[in-house]
Amino acid sequence: MFLRHRLSSRALVVYFLIGIALIGIVTYVYSNYLIQRIRIETETTSMLFAEFARGPSIDEERLLELFYDMVIKRIDFPVILTDAEGTPYSARNIKDNDLHKAVEKLDRVHPPIPMMIKHGADSTLVGHVHWGLSPFTRSLQILPLVETVFLIAFLFLGFWGYLIYRKSIEEKIWNSLAKETAHQLATPLSSLVGWLETIKGDIDHEVYQGIQEDATRMREVLEKFSRIGLPPRLVQKDLTETVSRSVNYIRKRAHARIAFREDYGPLPAVKFDDVLLGWAIENILKNGLDAIAGKPGEIFIRTYAASGAMIEIRDTGRGIKDGMDIFKPGYTTKKYGWGLGLVLTKRIIEEYHNGRLSLKETGPKGTCFEIYLPGAMT
C-alpha cells in the first residue's frame, strides 16, 4: 500500500534511467576487460609466430625458452601431466593435494590429451595432459546466463512498478470521484435539511421522521465518500453492535418477503472504523437483496471467532456466474450500477482493516461472503 501511494511516473523514469545506465556501464567495463584479455593472448601468439617465422635465425633452445616464458608460465587453467602409467608428475593451478583425485575430476569434464612420440611409422605413448577451464573461461560461460537473469529481473521489477503505478492512478481517480461526489451533494443536502425544518409542522410527523432519517443517512453516505483515501479511524468497539445496526438499516429497506436470520456468537476484541466497516457490511447485504430481487428469500448473518472475528453473510439469491471477477472495478449486474460496491468493500476490509473479504461459495441456491478481521493487538 505504501508503494502504491508513493510510486510516481518520475520514480519509474528514474528507475529505468539508472537501470539502463548501470547495464551500459557494466557492459562497457566488462567488454573492455575481455578485449584486453584477448589482446594479450593475440599479442603472445603473434610474437611466437614472428619468432617461428624467422626460421634458421633462431635455434631450438631459444624457441623452447620463448615458448616456456610466453605460454607455459602464463597458463591460468588447471593442468596435470601424467606418464604412460597414469602417474602424475607435474601440475599447475591445482588446489587439491591429491593429484589422482584431481585427475579424475578433470577427466570427468574433458577427455585427456595423449602425448605421443613418433618413430617413423610407429608412435609411443609417453603420457597424458589432463586439463580444465580457467576462471576467465568459466566466467565467459556463465556470463550470458547472468546477463539474462539480470535483464529479466530488471524488466520484471520495471513492469511490476508500472502495474503499481497504474493501480495508484486508478485509486486516485476513484478517490477523487468519491470526494467530488461528496462535495457536489453536500450543498443540496444542506438545503434539503433546511427546507425540511421549514415544513416541519405542515406535514405528517411520520412522513417527516422518514424524510429526516433518510437525510441523516445521506449525510452519513457523503461522509463515507469523503473519507475514501484517508486513513481509517480504528477504534476498539463492540463489533456485534455495528453488524446488528447495519442489518437493521437494510431490513427496513427490504420488502416484507425477505427474512433476516441473525446468529451472533462471541467475538474477540477488534479495532475497526465503525462508519467504513458498517458501509462495507451494508454493501454486501444490498447485493444479497438485489440477488433475491422481488422473490421470497432469506439473508443469514453469522458472527464467530476464528483467530479473529468472522462475519458470514449468506443469501438465497440467484448466485454469481462462473468466471466473473466480482471484485474488478466496473463489474455489475445492475442496469444502472457503477460496479464499485464490492471494490470499495474489499478495499475497506483488506487495506483499511488488514482483513480479508472472500467469496466463500455461490450457486443457484445463493451466495456466501466471508469477512475476516484480525484481533486487536494487546
Q: Residues 267-296: what's their mean pLDDT?
A: 90
Q: Select 233-374's CATH number: 3.40.720.10, 1.25.40.10, 3.30.565.10, 3.40.50.620.
A: 3.30.565.10
Return the C-alpha cell found at 350: 483488506
Model pLDDT for residues 29-49, shown as the tens digit of each residue? 877 777 777 776 666 666 656
Mean pLDDT of the chain: 79
Instruction: Return the half-sphere exposure (C-beta side, CA atoms, 13 A cut-off) of residue 135.
Output: 3
Model pLDDT for residues 302-315, shown as the tens digit of each residue? 999 988 999 999 99
Return the C-alpha cell found at 280: 462495507
Distances (CA, A) of 31 to 23, 126, 220: 12, 41, 66
What amino acid is encoded at 249 in this protein? Y
Residue 176: how many other CB atoms lie within 10 Å: 12
For the chain, strand residue ranges (E) read: 79-83, 88-92, 113-119, 122-131, 235-237, 258-264, 270-272, 297-305, 308-315, 356-363, 366-374
- Domain boundaries of the chain, sorted by first residue: 78-132, 138-209, 233-374
Nearest to 174 by CA among 351, 2, 330: 330
| In contact, 312 and 300? CB cutoff 8 Å | yes
Whole-prediction pTM: 0.53
Higher pLDDT, 91 or 161: 91
Q: What is the C-alpha separation between 34 and 38, in angstroms, rounded? A: 6
In this prediction, residue 181 has a pLDDT band, given cuts at 50, 70 and 90, of confident
Helix 9-53 and helix 60-70, axial crossing angle in degrees, nearest 10: 170
